[in-house]
Amino acid sequence: MHASASRPHPLMTSHNKKSGKRWAPCIRKRLAQSELPPSNGFLIIEANGGLNQQRISICDAVAVASLLNATLVTPAFHLNSVWRDSSKFGDIFDEDHFIGSLRKYTRIVKELPEDVFMKFDFNISSIPNMRTKAFSSESYYLEKVLPKLLELGAVRIAPFSNRLAHSVPPNIQALRCFANYEALRFSEPIRTLGANMVDRMIKKSSLTGGKYISVHLRFEEDMVAFSCCIYDGGLRENIEMENARERSWRGKFHRPGRVINPEANRRNGKCPLTPLEVGMMLRGMGFDNTTSIYVASGKIYNAEKYMSPLRQLFPLLQTKDTLTSPEELAQFKGHSSRLAALDYTVCLQSEVFVTTQGSNFPHFLMGHRRYLYGGNAKTIKPDKRKLVALFDNPNIRWDRFKRQMQEMHRHSELKGFGVRKPNGSIYTLPMPDCMCQQAEP
Q: Name which residue leads in pLDDT, 106 or 29.
A: 106
Domains and CATH numbers, the chain: 10-20+189-219+272-439 (3.40.50), 31-185 (3.40.50.11340), 221-262 (no CATH)
- As a whole number, the mean pLDDT across the chain is 90
Instruction: Please give the pLDDT value at position 386.
Output: 95
Reply yes or no on whether the pLDDT at 80 is more than 70. Answer: no
Specify which of 252-261, 264-273, 376-385 reaches the highest per-range mean pLDDT: 264-273
Q: Is the pLDDT of residue 82 over 70?
A: no
Percent of all residues in the chain with a pLDDT value above 90, rounded to a whole number: 76
The span from the CA of 338 to the CA of 194, in Å, is: 11
Mean pLDDT over 251-268 rounds to: 89
Residue with the bigger pLDDT between 18 and 419: it is 419
pLDDT at 3: 45
Per-residue pLDDT, averaged over 130-152, amounts to 95
Predicted confidence (pLDDT) at residue 6 exceeds the cutoff of 60: no
Highest mean pLDDT among 42-51, 72-81, 432-441: 42-51
Is the confidence at residue 367, as pLDDT, over 90?
A: yes
Average pLDDT over residues 184-197: 98
Measured CA to CA, the distance from residue 216 to residue 358 in angstroms comes to 10
pLDDT at residue number 4 = 46
Contact between 346 and 156 under an 8 Å Cβ cutoff? The reply is: no
Query: Can you give the pLDDT at residue 414?
Result: 65
In angstroms, the CA 53 to CA 360 distance is 6
- Residue of higher predicted confidence among 18 and 362: 362
Q: Band the pLDDT of 257: cuts 50, 70, 90.
A: confident
Preceding omega of 432 cis (within 30 degrees of 0): yes
pLDDT at site 5: 43
Least confident of 149-163, 251-265, 379-393: 251-265
Determine the average pLDDT of the residues in 288-294.
97
Q: What local confidence, expressed as pLDDT, does residue 252 receive?
A: 86
Q: Is the per-residue pLDDT at 42 higher than 50?
A: yes
Judged against a pLDDT cut of 60, whether residue 361 lies above it is answered with: yes
What is the predicted pLDDT for the residue at 84? 67
CA distances from 439 to 19, 25, 320 (A): 9, 13, 39
Averaged pLDDT for residues 172-191: 96
Q: Is the pLDDT of residue 401 over 80?
A: yes
Query: Average pLDDT of 238-251?
Result: 89
pLDDT, mean of residues 352-375:
91
pLDDT band at 259 (very low <50, low <70, confident <90, very high): confident
Q: What is the mean pLDDT of residues 86-106?
A: 95
**Local confidence band at 197 (pLDDT 50, 70, 90 cut-offs):** very high
Q: In sequence order, what are the beta bridge partners of 22?
A: 438
The pTM (predicted TM-score) of the whole model is 0.92
